[in-house]
Amino acid sequence: MESYYLDWANLLLRWAHVITAIAWIGSSFYFVFLDSSLTPPVDEDLKKQGVSGELWAVHGGGFYHPVKFAVRPPKLPAHLHWFYWESYSTWLTGFSLFTVSYLWSAGTYLIDKSKMDWLPWQAITVALLFLAVFWVLYDLICRVFGQRKNGDAIVGALVLVLVCVASWLACHWFAGRAAFLLVGAMMATAMSANVAHWIIPGQRKVVASIKAGEPVDPIHGIRGKQRSVHNTYFTLPVLFAMLSGHYSFTYTHPQNWLVLIAMMFAGAAIRQFFVMRHGFKLGRNPNPLPYALTGVLVIVGLMFWLAPAPQASTPEAVGAAASAPAAGQADNRPGQISYAMLQPILAQRCYLCHGAEVQMKNVRLDSPANVKLHAQNIYQQVVVSKIMPMANATGISEAERMLIKQWFETGAANQ
């Protein structure tokens, strides 16, 4: 029953996480677009109020006219909306989901004993340290170099090195799927910490100064804007890391850390294109197309690099198929794989988690009826996505995956 309730927790947390992430990323993208699209005000009254930029937009049948005040408005409105619950809710649901999906069953989902033979508590501790240590080092880089001449370039280069080191360590210490997600969670934690420790506190100080009738220190707006821009560049890399778990050809590659770094770099480059393109239309930025082309070229290069070499059916699979009639399945079509031939693979590779003693995800595979019931899932998890066995803990071979592929695709699974 534990597995059943964990599945429910996973479903509901994932649902909530996606909803809140859409709200956070959507508002982040909108305000980056807004800043890039503002034009100097034409109305003299707006200029006198201290408006530095305005935008006219049409959406949903109505016209909108947002304006941005340089440093402060003449007076605070009665109702001021704060953008922070989107960030906090995304992190809270994401960390809860990470706990349910990986930390709760660290021995199964977090640990790859061929890389590090950790005890579950050790793996959990190191995984949590990834979140904390990355934030501390990233924040230190921003504090030390952020306000220097060419500070943005220096910070960007150092953060890139930090992400590369973290990616290498994660992929050499944890199971590939968990490593990719952990790096994404690490960067997402820094994003939410930027909101909690810099953006919102800075805005609170500005509001407090206005209410007290004191001069507003512009440094709060500068620092908040800097961290907000960092967050927008983190967004596409984080989304890739979170989605990669569905595509095993990325995290199972021997150089999976390079795959992760390259895809995150491509995402950041493509995001730069979108950040700059509105300013380009207004004549403020150079043509951002090279950034998009760079990102696309990196992805195309990865597609060719990761492409599996064309190969015929393995000798083991061909030999097994040829012996199918001898296994008591004379009514099978030629080339079909019988349950009798499949059962030793299931016993050796799957029963540990899906047998009589343990039924992870409420799936049991030690009878013909259950194997037929879960045939589609077996094919998807073992052959298509190669997620199972988790971290290949039981050492299934490519020849055995090919045998399961032939069993399913020739129709034996439905008999």
- pLDDT by residue, tens only, the chain of 415 residues: 667 788 888 889 999 999 999 999 999 999 999 998 999 999 999 998 889 999 999 999 999 999 999 878 888 888 999 999 999 999 999 999 999 888 988 887 888 888 888 899 999 999 999 999 999 999 999 999 988 888 889 999 999 999 999 999 999 999 888 999 999 999 999 999 999 999 999 999 999 998 888 888 889 988 999 999 999 999 999 999 999 888 888 888 889 999 999 999 999 999 999 999 988 888 888 999 999 999 999 999 999 998 877 655 444 544 544 444 433 344 455 567 888 888 888 888 888 888 877 767 678 888 888 888 888 888 878 887 777 787 677 788 888 888 888 888 887 666 5
Half-sphere exposure for 61 (CA within 13 Å, toward CB): 0
| pLDDT at res. 394 | 79
| pLDDT at res. 1 | 60
- 3-class secondary structure, 62: strand
Q: Give residues with Cβ within 8 angstroms of 153, minimum separation 6.
A: none
| pLDDT at res. 251 | 87
- Amino acid (one-letter) located at 33: F
| pLDDT at res. 182 | 95
Half-sphere exposure for 402 (CA within 13 Å, toward CB): 15
Q: What is the pTM of this model?
A: 0.79
Q: Are 307 and 272 in contact (CB under 8 A)?
A: no
Q: Give residues with Cβ within 8 angstroms of 67, minimum separation 6.
A: 41, 46, 51, 53, 54, 55
| pLDDT at res. 314 | 47
From the number of C-beta atoms within 10 Å of its C-beta (0-12, 13-18, 19+), residue 331 rates as exposed
| pLDDT at res. 381 | 81
| pLDDT at res. 290 | 95
CA distance 343 to 404: 10
| pLDDT at res. 283 | 84
Among 287, 257, 259, smallest CA distance to 272 is for 287
| pLDDT at res. 320 | 46
| pLDDT at res. 26 | 93
Token representation of residue 249: 């050809």
Token representation of residue 151: 């500070």
| pLDDT at res. 64 | 94
Q: Provide the CA 61 distance to its chain's centre, in angstroms.
A: 35
